């Protein structure tokens, strides 16, 4: 007999959004093809790799790590965690710089977000608004509704 049937409320289980992958597709590595969830939507602006004093980290991977930390801080303000992320859109000024640092980027990503991989897109742009920025990321999360 479950706790709910016995009159005790069920614990509020939050497993985060559901990963969507068509049946005959191989599972992607490092991202998801689709995500679905229920709750409140949390959206960031374009987040760059600077700290609270607007000082940029030195180098591509260091900026990415700072962005991950910044996104995690915004998620926390909204009552969310990295497991609630459903989409990340990356903007880079040099795709080759991104590809050259994949291993280090993956390590920095997992250090901050763990092994949760939402839907992602990567776009090379001519320039970002902040001239010192090498990378900018927008994040979308679905935060479970308060019950």
In a domain, 95, yes or no: yes
In a domain, 119, yes or no: yes
pTM score of the predicted model: 0.84
Please report, for the domain that includes residue 107, its CATH number: 3.30.1330.40
Q: Which domain holds residue 52?
A: 41-143
Question: Could you list the pLDDT tens digit for every one of the 147 residues in the chain?
Answer: 333 334 433 344 566 788 888 888 988 888 888 888 889 999 999 999 999 999 999 999 999 999 999 999 999 999 999 999 999 999 999 999 999 999 999 999 999 999 999 999 999 999 999 999 999 999 999 998 875
Number of domains in the chain: 1
In a domain, 110, yes or no: yes
DSSP the chain: --TTTTTSPPP-----PEEE--TTSPPPSSSBSEEE--SEEEE---EESB-TT-PBPSSHHHHHHHHHHHHHHHHHHTT--GGGEEEEEEEES-HHHHHHTHHHHHHHHHHHH-S---EEEEEE-S--SSTT-SEEEEEEEEEPPP-
Residue 9's pLDDT is what? 39
């Amino acid at each position: 007999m479950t706790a709910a049937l016995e009159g005790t409320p069920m614990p509020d289980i939050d497993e985060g959004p559901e990963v969507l992958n068509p049946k005959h597709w191989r599972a992607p590595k490092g991202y998801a093809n689709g995500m679905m969830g229920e709750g409140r939507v949390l959206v960031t602006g374009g987040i760059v790799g600077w700290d609270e004093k607007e000082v940029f980290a030195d180098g591509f991977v260091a900026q990415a790590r700072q962005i991950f930390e910044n996104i995690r801080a915004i998620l926390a303000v909204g009552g969310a965690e990295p497991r609630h992320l459903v989409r990340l859109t990356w903007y880079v000024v040099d795709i080759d710089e991104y590809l050259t640092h994949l291993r280090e980027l993956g390590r920095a990503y997992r250090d901050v977000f763990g092994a949760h991989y939402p839907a992602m897109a990567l776009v090379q742009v001519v320039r970002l608004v902040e001239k010192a920025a090498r990378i900018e990321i927008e994040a979308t999360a679905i935060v479970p509704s308060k019950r």
